[in-house]
Structure 1
Amino acid sequence: MQSTQTDAYALIIDAIDQGLYRPGDRLVESELADRFGVSRTPVREALQRLETQSLLTRDGRSLIVATLSHDQMAELYVVRTELEALAARLAAQHAAQEEIAVLAAMVEEDRVLLTDAQALSRANRRFHMQIHLASHNRYLVQQLGMVHRSMALMATTSLAAEGRGETALAEHADIVDAISARDGDRAANALRQHLSTAFEVRLREEARTL
């Protein structure tokens, strides 16, 4: 049962992350069970867990995917930036050469995705997760996992903005270069600047919809 519950939770998180369910969408227990081919009990338990984590919210008797306010988004970026900068610093200290090679390969491989913002967004998440793992700090990885689950509540990706994909990959390359050079300060600063730019792009795109 525990495995099934975990699977249901992961499946729902992944569906939100991929945009199958967007902020404001209602999640129906029976529909989720049918979609994922699991029984309703683990789905119900997963929904309760997601509500506890504030990824879902109540609308009457229904559960809907939560929407981040402007302030919540800003707060999330502050926490994410500091935690990821620490991950980059630790990766510069502790990453194996093979892990650095994987990060460098990701940057090159992701260039073919520049015309597909959603695919590039998924690749971006994998790149950042690889940095988390390369920090070799399980507690930091755990906290960053929580932050990135909340990031799924953002309905759009900053990588969809014109020219942002190319810039983001150049920033990724700078981060990897600093990690490869074992320069923790430069790696942390490069990661911090990368997310600052991403946040600025997101704010600019959001302002156009006001």
Structure 2
Amino acid sequence: MEKTSQKDAYGLILEAIDVGTYRPGDRLVESELAERFGVSRTPIREALQRLETQSLLTRDGRSLIVASLDHDQIAELYIVRTELEALAAKLAAKHAAPEEIKVLFDMVEDDRALIDDPKALSRANRRFHTQIHLASHNRYLVQQLDLVHRSMALMATTSLAAEGRGELALEEHSRVVQAIADGDGERAAEELRAHLSVAFEVRLKEESERIMASGGRR
């Protein structure tokens, strides 16, 4: 029972960070989390320790806060994410079942209805990329990508909120899926790399604008 509670507490806190209930810089209080999630304080404490060891939480004095990523960390994360996701797309082109490919095509079409809702589109984007990971049929790659995407939750904003980005991102998704459907692993990998390159560029521009707006202070 205790192990189950610990696992549940970890998943609940992680999901709350992922969906933006707790954002970078927010303080996490053990007693408040226990009350919110209806879990005793012991598994909450153990879950917080686990999240801290994974660098999703950091210390601010005696308090634990949701970590944030600096410029270098974001760049490093995108490098790793791009290569791992490109590999997933390449393997998906080889191993994905016809049903998995149809699901990917359906996701692209369904997500067009979310273009004007960046938060919803961001959640749909996560589902889409996760589906590609699963279609690679490589459990070790899926595990590593899950860790990478947990760290992505530490970014305060989504690149899909930039003007016009949502529509372009879905076109990029469509090209990735078509390459997978064609069984062209190299093209699928390159389309995925190009997609994430644009997303990274958008984030860099947003960061530059925030720095300018704050008078040059990071």
Q: Which amino acid letter does the alignment assign opposite residue 189 of structure 2? A: A
TM-score where L is the length of structure 2: 0.95
Q: CA deviation at 1:67?
A: 1.0
Q: CA deviation at 1:3?
A: 2.0
Q: CA deviation at 1:150?
A: 0.4
Give the structure 1 partner of residue 126 of structure 2: 125
Give the structure 2 partner of residue 26 of structure 1: 27
Provide the secondary structure at the position in 2 that maps to 1:57: strand
Hey, what's the Cα distance between the residues in 2 that align with 1:109 and 1:103? 10
Alignment deviations for residues 26-52 of structure 1 (CA, whole Å, 9 cap, x no partner): 000111111111111111111000000
Alignment deviations for residues 110-148 of structure 1 (CA, whole Å, 9 cap, x no partner): 011111000000000000000000000000000000000
Is the deviation greater in 108-117 or in 3-12? 3-12
Map of 1:1-210 to 2, 5 A cutoff? 1-210=2-211
Q: CA deviation at 1:74?
A: 0.3
TM-score where L is the length of structure 1: 0.99
Q: CA deviation at 1:205?
A: 1.1
Provide the secondary structure at the position in 2 that maps to 1:136: coil
Hey, what's the Cα distance between the residues in 1 that align with 2:116 and 2:36? 30
Hey, what's the Cα distance between the residues in 1 that align with 2:112 and 2:41? 41
Tell me the number of residue pairs that the alignment of Structure 1 and Structure 2 aligns.
210
Provide the secondary structure at the position in 1 that maps to 2:23: coil
Q: Which amino acid letter does the alignment assign opposite residue 96 of structure 2? A: A
In structure 2, runs of 5+ residues without a counterpart are 212-218
Hey, what's the Cα distance between the residues in 2 that align with 1:60 and 1:205? 30
Give the structure 1 partner of residue 216 of structure 2: none
In structure 1, runs of 5+ residues without a counterpart are none
Hey, what's the Cα distance between the residues in 2 that align with 1:205 and 1:34? 36
